[in-house]
Amino acid sequence: LTWLFFNTSIVPSESNPITESNVRGYLEPTTLLFIIFSPLITMRLFSEEEKLGTLELLLTSPVKDWEIVMGKYLASTVILISTLLCTFFYVILIFIYSTPDFGPLLSAYLGIILYGIATLSVGLFASSLSSNQIVSAVVGIVILLLLSFLDSLGAMLDGIPSTIFNEMALNYHYGDFTKGVIDIRNIVYYFSTASIFLFFTVLILEMRRWR
């Protein structure tokens, strides 16, 4: 998906030169791909275990619940980052065809990685809710759509409600990265979001253990 997106969007020519700015611009819609891609990566991680009856065996093993969750989460993170590595080909093209400032480009990639790890945690949480992979994927996509576009709702409000919805939105915190701005508050937001949904996933597993 990532390769097709970039391959059809960035083609070096006189009318469409490859530059740092247009690659950063094309990275922004990648967040929309993650809303679908992340739940698809994670939908089997717990749903398949429960469907096959192996989740009970996993929960009765000496491994702690949070270790199970983190193991699956880190594995899915490796897959996601490996997918992003495919786009590095275009970064090489940028340096061949121009002399860009590496800082803003690095900022954009950092933002998309942080966005990705947050979406994976939501997908993993959704996978722990059902033994049906399709249901897990749909639930994950719905949650991510809500979280991603809360800032659109915030734009229609004023004052404190607007601020609350903006601060809760995944897309709102990603915007600064595409501008070359690395704000510690945005980094904390993505790690906090991932931590919250991973915590919820651990709680779901503990409930299943004592069920």
Q: How confident is the model at residue 9 (pLDDT cuts 50, 70, 90)?
A: very low
Provide, for the chain, the percentages of residues in helix, strand and coil under a 3-state DSSP scheme, each rounded to the nearest 5. Answer: 80, 0, 20
Distance CA 33, CA 26 (A): 12
**Residue 166: which pLDDT band, with cuts at 50, 70 and 90?**
confident
pTM: 0.83
- Higher per-residue pLDDT: 116 or 95: 116
- Helix/strand number for the chain, H first, E second: 12, 0
- In this structure, how many other beta carbons lie within 10 angstroms of the beta carbon of residue 90? 19
Residues 6+ apart with CB under 8 A from 183: 176
Residue predicted with more confidence, 160 or 132: 132
- Angle value at C-alpha 147, between 144 and 149, nearest 5 degrees: 105
- pLDDT bucket at 26, cuts 50 / 70 / 90: low
Across 15-43, average pLDDT: 70
Q: Is the distance from CB of 19 to CB of 98 less than 8 angstroms?
A: yes
CB 125 within 8 A of CB 197: yes
Please, are residues 117 and 77 in contact by the beta-carbon 8 Å criterion? yes
Distance of CA 201 to the CA centre of its chain: 16
Domain boundaries, the chain: 36-209
Determine the pLDDT at residue 143. Answer: 95
pLDDT at 105 over 90: no
Please give the average per-residue pLDDT across 156-166, as a whole number.
Answer: 80
- 77, with CB counted inside 10 A (0-12, 13-18, 19+), is middle
| Predicted pLDDT at 203 | 94
Average pLDDT over residues 72-79: 94
pLDDT at 104: 74
106 CB-near residues (< 8 Å, 6+ apart) = none
- H/E stretch holding 39: helix 30-52
User: Is the sign of the CA dihedral 89, 22, 176, 144 positive or negative?
Assistant: negative
pLDDT higher than 50, residue 18: no
The answer to whether 46 touches 198, Cβ cutoff 8 Å, is: no
Average pLDDT score over residue span 135-148: 93
